[in-house]
Structure 1
Amino acid sequence: MDSLAPQRHPHPWRVFSATSIGVVAVFLSLSGLTVALPTVARELDASGAQSTWILLGYMLVTTALILVFGRLADIIGRRPLYLAGLITFTVATGLCMLAPSAGWLVAARVLQGAGAAAIVTNNTALLTDTFPPRTLGRALGWNATVAAVAQVVGPVIGGAATAVFGWRGLFVVVLPVGLLAIAASIAVIPRGPSRAVTREPFDVSGAVLSTALLAAVVLALTPGAGSTPWLPWACGAVSLVLAVTFVAVQIRRTHPLVDLSLFRNRGIALVLAAVLVNAIATYAVTLLVSLYGQAVSGISAVAAGALVMPVAIGTVVAAAAAGSLMLRFSPRTLTATGMGLNAVGLLGVTLLLSPDGGSLGATAPFLFVLGCGTGLFMTPSTSALMLTAPADRRGIANGLRSTLQNVGYLLSTALALVFATAGLSAAARQAAYGGTLGTLGSAEVARFVDNVRAVGIALAVVALLGVGVCLAFPRRNPAATVHTLESVTPLKESA
């Protein structure tokens, strides 16, 4: 037996519990700042571009480095890189909490995103190494559930923390979670071999190309990315060239950064496409509703957190019910239904928004429907991926799922921000981010609301396209799905 092979842990669910703490910290930081962004922008006097990068800097670096750190973990070992990520993330969280200026906060968020990438990547890899094949699907399903719930609860916690501690409150909450994750991981995660199972070389060119590609895409979409009007177009053209080059390089590599051969499996390709589409369609909604509520209605950050709470409630309720529903319905049916609910929720929320800001309370039922759609999509999609992927490729397939999900979050945020503030002056854009747009007059408010509604309708259309993708999934017998994976979420006690 190869001495470098991963050793199964006698108590794998303890490892899961420890790594879940890190996942919670990462996704609270990812989504929790959305409701506090207007407060941050006002108190740090952030420009529109700086406000955008406070969110996008974290997301861009996390997304770009997930694949890079995934390969590095195969070379230097998972535990060291995971712990390094936790320490980096926690230190950066402290720097965010102490930020005296917008530029400082952007830089600290970038560092925080680098640590988050190492956590997210190695979280999946550690679970793959720790759990036996018969329970791996369940563990990865729970992992996705923890991440999704932390993500949707983030705005609620962010709003409450801002009310108590000011805009630094989110980092005050996340910091001890990071410290707890470090302590638990050191105590529980086993010391594996100092080197990885594989001695395959690291694909440096793939890492550079993938990072440059994502950066070019974000720069092409980011308002205020540059002082010249041609820069976004140039970045868009560069991103197309980089995308073609990246695919060509990966196809030729013996040991590529991204195993594109997985996409030859129609089932895997469809599930991964659905994950990307779902992330694009749904992620920006809480940001847009929060910005609308604070910029147009003048509500506080804590009220904005309460405003989007129905999304979190719906997600938790639907995710809890999904395991039982999988006994009767296939992942194909459940994911398509979830996407359809997302479209209904998006349209309902969008059509209720108005320049007078008086319809906020009426959005709650549709936000709940949106949350139910997210929760209903989440577990069956992971189930479908684990069922379709070969047993020895489930870790890699789930890594691709995580990457594409983060790409979807990044694109959703970037597109929502650029189109929601399209046509606004620099001052109006800064006021929209700072929650003071109403002071600039009704014309600017009306333009902003029209933009937000247009974005909402576009996202609903994306969700409807996602329904079609889900309906193209291979047909599966629901009982066979549950039996094969021993249920991705626990129909009975899992630990």
Structure 2
Amino acid sequence: MATSIGVVAVFLNISGLSVALPTIARELGADATQANWILLGYLLVTTALILVFGRLADIIGRHRLYLAGLALFTLATGLCALSVSPQMLIVARILQGMGAAACVTNNTALLTDTFPAADLGRALGWNVTIAATAQVAGPVVGGAATALLGWRGLFLVCAPIGLLALVMSLLFIPRPDRTRRRRERFDLAGAALSTLALTATVLALTTTAEADPRLVRVCGIAAVALLVVFVVVQRRREHPLIDVGLFRLPTIAVALTAVIANAVATNAVVVLVSLYGQAGGLTPVRAGVMVAPVALGTVVAAALTAALTTRYSPRILTATGMAASLIGLVGLAATMTDDANSLWAVTPFLFVIGAGNGLFMTPSTNALMLAAPTARRGIANGLRSTSQNLGTLVSSALALALGTAGLSESARRAAIDGTLGAIGPVDLAHFVANLRTATAVFAAVAALGIALCWFLPARRPNLDAVADNAIADDSVDRASGERAHNIR
């Protein structure tokens, strides 16, 4: 329950901001680029730091890092509410991203450490359900808070929840056995290279929305070069940031790729449809209600999947989830029009997309975490969270870039702050056509995801064997740590 409240604080903030963004842009006077960074700056920092925090968690302990991250997230949420300029809000969002990275990196790993293998699927399923519930409430709470208290109301709601999560985590999360801490050095060079490579990748993607092809090329080339150097350095390190041996395990490699595909296909739908609804004249409250079926579908599917993971293989469940998302995305692209009277026609397809996402997440996470050695669950979950966030970032950047492509600067700003419908029908029709194109791209990624899911395990996990392997892995890890300590 303690970690679940932390999840609520993080996801309520994420999903609520998607609805509040147009109001924030209007009231703070943010241009399109600044508005993009209010949304994407958080994802950039979170994505860049998850691997770093995942490795630190394996070395210094997940418990203390989770608590520190939750404290920083809560403090930064308060700073967001006090922001008086776009620049100040962007900085506060970056601090939020740092705290969130420490939280999401350790949340699943703490559950995996606490629950036995036989109960892990249910625990993960309920965790996903609670997160999805926060996503359901997020757009509605964000819209209502914006209407009643202004856009600061969203952060004023999230800050006390974060504080409650911190207090409960201090009281109820089991403290680790300090004698089992890993005796390894932290890979500073790997951390710096991975952060720079991911940042360059993110800049290349977000700059696409700013239509600056030269900067895109420079960032893209830098990202590739840094990634190559990073791989070379990791192969030569005694204690690397990423254990490259994890990628030799087929389940882990495939699951991580499928997580990216699922996130790209589904995670920007809330942003995309929120902009679509407000451009069509909906208030923030009504736009929040409009996008709520995405997370509602995730809640329903995740609750069912918690039990299904013990009966069906990860291959069947994840492929079915991606297929549902594909159907929903195709329907969404077909029903979006510039006719304000038909805005609500998209809601059934939003529910289907959310259900597909909920059906995918638990079995993919379960398969990945059970395939990872016990001593590497921190970095395995860090890789999963990085993949999830990278996919979300790509999805959001594509939605914003494709959605505003070909629009004038004034029309781009109006599309972001929700006033495009008042400018004229020509720009609105262009914007809606762009959103349909973005949705079609996401549908193509979902189709690719179905193919990836087919390479996940075709059988239910042997939970007894998993438990035995975990014990063996832990024994080997402790013996290796003792030998390393004796050598030093």
Question: Shared topology, TM-score over 0.5?
Answer: yes
1:194-222 per-residue CA deviation (whole Å, 9 max, x = no partner) reads 79711211111111111111211221122
In 1, Cα distance between the equivalents of 2:12 and 2:192?
Answer: 28
Match for 2:367: what amino acid?
Answer: A
Q: Matched residues in 2 for 1:203 and 1:348: separation?
A: 47
Deviates more, 1:374-383 or 1:344-353: 374-383
CA–CA distance in 2 between the matches of 1:37 and 1:345? 25
SS at match of 1:46: coil
Separation (CA, whole Å) in 2 of partners of 1:81 and 1:323: 27
1:201 matched to 2:185? The reply is yes
Indicate how the Cα distance of structure 1 residues 224 and 132 shifts in structure 2: closer, same or farther if over 3 A, else same: closer
What's the counterpart of residue 22 of structure 1?
A: 6
Could you tell me how far apart the structure 2 residues matched to 1:378 and 1:178 are? 24
Q: CA deviation at 1:387?
A: 4.1
1:442 — aligned with what? 425
Q: Which of 391, 398, 405 is the aligned partner of 1:415?
A: 398
Equivalent AA in structure 1 for residue 421 of structure 2: G
Residues 427 and 368 from structure 1, CA distance in 2 versus in 1: closer, same or farther, beyond 3 angstroms?
same
> How many equivalent pairs are there?
467
Amino acid in the other structure paired with 1:23: V
The alpha carbon displacement at 1:335 in A equals 0.9
Rate the CA distance shift 1:196–1:392 in 2: closer, same or farther, 3 A. closer
Check the 8 A contact 2:118/2:463 in 1, yes or no.
Answer: no
Match of 2:221 in 1: 237
User: Taking structure 1 as reference, are residues 137 and 345 closer, same or farther at Cα in structure 2, changes over 3 Å only?
Assistant: closer
Q: CA deviation at 1:286?
A: 0.8
Counterpart-to-counterpart distance in 2, 1:317 and 1:191: 33
How far apart, in 2, do the equivalents of 1:360 and 1:485 lie?
A: 48
1:460 matched to 2:443 = yes
CA deviations over 1:19-66 (Å, ceiling 9, x no partner): 221121112222220011111111111110110001111111111111
**8 A contact 2:54–2:381 mirrored in 1:** no
Distance 1:397 1:426, change over 3 A: same
Q: 1:352 aligns with which of 315, 322, 335?
A: 335
Contact 1:59–1:406 under 8 Å retained in 2: yes
Aligned identity (percent) is 61
Q: How is 1:142-153 mapped onto 2 (pairs within 5 angstroms)?
A: 142-153=126-137
Give the distance between the partners of 1:333 and 1:192, measured in 2 at CA: 36
Deviation at 1:124, TM superposition (A): 3.4
1:428 maps to a residue whose letter is A
> In the TM superposition, what whole-angstrom CA distance separates every residue of 1:413-463 from its partner, at most 9, and x where no partner exists?
112111111122221111111101123222222221121111100000100
Q: Select which of 344, 347, 355 maps to 1:372.
A: 355
Instruction: Supply the distance in 1 between the matched residues of 2:178 and 2:324 (Cα, whole angstroms).
Output: 47
Residue pairs, 1:36-435, within 5 angstroms: 36-132=20-116, 135-136=119-120, 138-192=122-176, 197-223=181-207, 229-295=213-279, 297-435=280-418
Amino acid at match of 1:329: Y
Is the alpha carbon distance of 1:145 and 1:317 closer, same or farther for their aligned partners in structure 2, counting shifts above 3 Å? Answer: closer
Please identify, of 118-127 and 259-268, the stretch whose mean Cα deviation from structure 2 is larger: 118-127
Higher share of residues assigned helix: 2
Aligned counterparts of 2:23 and 2:14: Cα–Cα separation in 1: 17
Name which of structure 1's ranges 457-466 and 189-198 shifts more when overlaid on structure 2.
189-198
| CA distance in 2: counterparts of 1:485 and 1:159, whole angstroms | 45
| Residue aligned with 1:222, SS | helix
Distance 2:374 2:87 in 1: 45
| Unmatched 5+ stretches in structure 2 | 468-488
CA distance in 2, matches of 1:482, 1:195: 27
Displacement of 1:99: 1.1
**8 A contact 1:73–1:196 mirrored in 2:** no
1:323–1:123 CA distance, 2 compared to 1 (3 A): closer
RMSD: 2.4
Partners of 1:182 and 1:161 in 2: how far apart? 23
CA distance in 2, matches of 1:484, 1:36: 48
Distance in 2 separating the partners of 1:125 and 1:166: 37
Whether the 8 Å contact between 1:30 and 1:58 is mirrored in structure 2 is: no
State how far apart, in whole Å, the 2-side matches of 1:19 and 1:328 are: 26
Cα distance change on mapping 1:463 and 1:131 into 2, 3 Å: same
Tell me: CA distance 1:443–1:311, structure 2 relative to 1, closer, same or farther (3 Å).
same
Counterpart Cα distance in 2 of 1:128 and 1:321: 20
1:102-141 Cα distance to aligned partner (Å, 9 max, x none) = 1111111011111111112233343344445554554444
Answer yes or no: is the 8 Å Cα contact 2:55–2:242 preserved in 1: no
Q: C-alpha displacement at 1:76, in angstroms?
A: 3.9
Change over 3 Å in CA distance of 1:245–1:47 after alignment to 2: same
Which SS does the other structure have where 2:17 is aligned? coil
Q: Amino acid of the residue matched to residue 17 of structure 2?
A: L
Structure 1: which amino acid aligns with 2:288? G
Tell me the TM-score normalised to structure 2 length: 0.89
Pick which of 298-307 and 128-137 moved more.
Answer: 128-137
Residue of structure 1 equivalent to 2:483: none
CA–CA distance in structure 1, aligned partners of residues 18 and 356 of structure 2 = 21
